[in-house]
Structure 1
Amino acid sequence: MNKLSLNYELKNRYRIIKHVSESNFSNIYLVLYKNRKYIVKECFPLNIVIRDEENKVFTEKYKRKFEMIKNDFMKEAEIIRKFNEESIVQFKDYFKENNTEYMLLEYCEGSSLKQYILENELAEEEILEIFVKIVKAVRKIHEKNVIHRDLKPSNIIVDINNNIKIIDFGSSINISEKNKGYLKWTSGYSPLEMYSLKAENDQKTDIYSLCALLYFMLNKYRPMDSLKRFYYPELIYEDYVSRKIRKIIEKGMNMERKERYENIEELEKELTN
């Protein structure tokens, strides 16, 4: 029993109406409160915890690791709380229950960028228009000294007006922080430094992921994983991708961090010139 049941009320007010998704670290629920929809994210590292008949989440063997993950979960909420931007998911509430932790977030209408790109035929200009909005949103994140570290198509919502919203800050860190005590990466979108606890992560980490995102938006498939690109760094494109955009992607996705764009402003300038 990894998930809470439908109609379960968290905090005696947030009624679960749908199981949205689950990952190795959390469950996502759609809840109803005062006739409005919200998202609840539950800290649930499924490989180390179980849920008892009273819905309490516990572990005997991995107590220390569970506490560390709950601490990171709280840091995620603190990071989201920093933002008051239309293009970034809004924080609403944080609470402890069932021996774990929960955050209440804005419910974002629309579809994932992955779904949107795969279901629509878009010209390069239309794709760039959406991508520049994503870049501007990431600039807002960097202005708060935060690195997102998990920019990928499933973590971006596109609404019916082509406005975007960045969600899921589970891998984010403040720029002054070291890497988290465990590795989290996404094949195709994470640069090589995300595969090491010792490697430095900075704005250039997000720049790699952003340009990998642009690669997907244009080609409709993700780029080769950075571990494989270490041996085969060349990127393969569909014929219709323009030379200018290829150059931008290749600079942003350079395997050498020092060869990428220095910061998000430099990438944005290159795109809009």
Structure 2
Amino acid sequence: MEQEKTTEALIRNTRIGDVYQVKQAIHQSELSIVYKARQTETGELKLIKEFFPQQLARRKADHLTVGCGPAFAEKFRELLCVFAQEAIILKKLSHPQIVGYTDYIEANGTAYLVTEFCRGLTLEHYLQQEDVTRAQPELLSIAGGVVGALKYVHDQGIIHRDVKPGNIMIDEGGGVKLIDFGSAIPYGNPGKQLIFTSSGYSPLEFYSETSRQEPVSDIYSLAATLYYIFAGKAPLDVRQRLFEDNLAAVRSYNHRRISAPFDKLIHWGLAMSPEKRCRSLGWFAMALRWESLLTAGKRRDRQL
């Protein structure tokens, strides 16, 4: 995983729950700090996500405990419940293409989610590597892995709500792992939802606390990710398409390397209205199999 500069991070060799030892901070978001760590007994590498909402929390003088002023205490507890929900959801999931749950610890005024350490690069960085051209069969295989992982998540009654290239890990062998379930919720849940969005990848319904959010919402994000894979750039953000929808065809960017029907399917998945959007991952699985057959046929023709 890529390392990023962080602030307020735990120092090297800090122990969490006498079970894990922090090696280095690798990422900081608005709500958490992520560390590469080692399980002290086995030596196995792990990923630890520490709940640390930047606008509410401060590290105390012991460089370990997390504190929060009385004015922010209620909001802190609310966000901590959301953080704990990620652990509850991940604990339910067991799939080779989904990051594996290890542990959840509440200590030091905060909480820590421990998962497997996924080696490799995010899909975003994987496709941005200089002087590397990814073959079409490789891209189709990655896309198929994402569809398979997402289907499993939906089958468990969960929507991910943040499918994007930055939340998909690619290992050295081209294997796929769907990561970061921090926005995930059981679908069909009544009541308000916290707003978490990613420009270019979130459907319009994710910009509302009270909208109906279902697997079809993830399908928008999946279609946006496929757009990125095959066009080389993210689609226009949904808010830019409200009054004039100028979303370009994928084939206009990739020299027609995908078929016209597959391009149309991606656009169907990117429909702004959930009622007009493709509602089945089966269409994408079938289209990817068809694209693989077409690609293999073209390769055979070139060899003749």
Assess same fold via TM > 0.5: yes
Contact 1:25 1:46 in 2 (8 A): yes
Residue 235 of structure 1 is aligned with which of 239, 247, 269?
247
Q: Is 1:41 the counterpart of 2:76 in the alignment? A: no
Amino acid at match of 1:225: D
Q: Number of residue pairs matched?
A: 273
Which structure 1 residue ranges, 5 or more long, are not aligned? none
Equivalent in the alignment of 1:64: 74
Q: Is 1:79 the counterpart of 2:94 in the alignment? A: no
Residue 182 of structure 1: CA displacement? Answer: 2.5
Equivalent in the alignment of 1:160: 172
Contact 1:203 1:264 in 2 (8 A): no
Equivalent in the alignment of 2:110: 100
Distance in 1 (alpha carbons) for counterparts of 2:172 and 2:284: 26
Runs of 4+ aligned residues of structure 1 deviating over 4 Å after TM superposition are none
Contact 1:183 1:194 in 2 (8 A): yes
SS at match of 1:232: coil
Contact 1:261 1:267 in 2 (8 A): no
% identity of equivalent residues: 30
SS at match of 1:15: strand
Equivalent in the alignment of 1:11: 17
Residue 28 of structure 2 is aligned with which of 12, 22, 25?
22
**1:161-176 correspondence runs (5 A):** 161-176=173-188
Deviations 1:247-267 (A, max 9, x none): 111000011111111222233
Q: Is 1:2 the counterpart of 2:8 in the alignment? A: yes
Larger Rg: 2
Residue 59 of structure 1: CA displacement? Answer: 1.6
Amino acid at match of 1:215: Y
Equivalent in the alignment of 1:254: 271
Amino acid at match of 2:72: Y
Once the two structures are overlaid, the 10-residue window that deviates more, 73-82 or 242-251, is 242-251
TM-score with structure 2 length normalisation? 0.86
Distance in 2 (alpha carbons) for counterparts of 1:100 and 1:67: 10
Distance in 1 (alpha carbons) for counterparts of 2:135 and 2:197: 30
User: Cα RMSD (Å) of the superposition?
Assistant: 1.5
Amino acid at match of 2:188: S
Distance in 2 (alpha carbons) for counterparts of 1:123 and 1:197: 41
Distance in 2 (alpha carbons) for counterparts of 1:104 and 1:179: 29
Distance in 1 (alpha carbons) for counterparts of 2:254 and 2:120: 30
Once the two structures are overlaid, the 10-residue window that deviates more, 59-68 or 165-174, is 59-68
**1:207-246 correspondence runs (5 A):** 207-236=219-248, 237=250, 238-241=253-256, 242=258, 243-246=260-263
Equivalent in the alignment of 2:123: 113
SS at match of 1:79: helix
Distance in 2 (alpha carbons) for counterparts of 1:259 and 1:270: 19
Distance in 2 (alpha carbons) for counterparts of 1:31 and 1:52: 21
Deviations 1:81-100 (A, max 9, x none): 11111100110111111100
Contact 2:153 2:159 in 1 (8 A): yes
Once the two structures are overlaid, the 10-residue window that deviates more, 49-58 or 251-260, is 49-58
Contact 1:24 1:47 in 2 (8 A): yes
Distance in 1 (alpha carbons) for counterparts of 2:102 and 2:56: 28
Which structure 2 residue ranges, 5 or more long, are not aligned? 1-6, 291-304
Distance in 2 (alpha carbons) for counterparts of 1:178 and 1:150: 19
Residue 60 of structure 2 is aligned with which of 34, 42, 52?
52
Contact 2:26 2:36 in 1 (8 A): yes
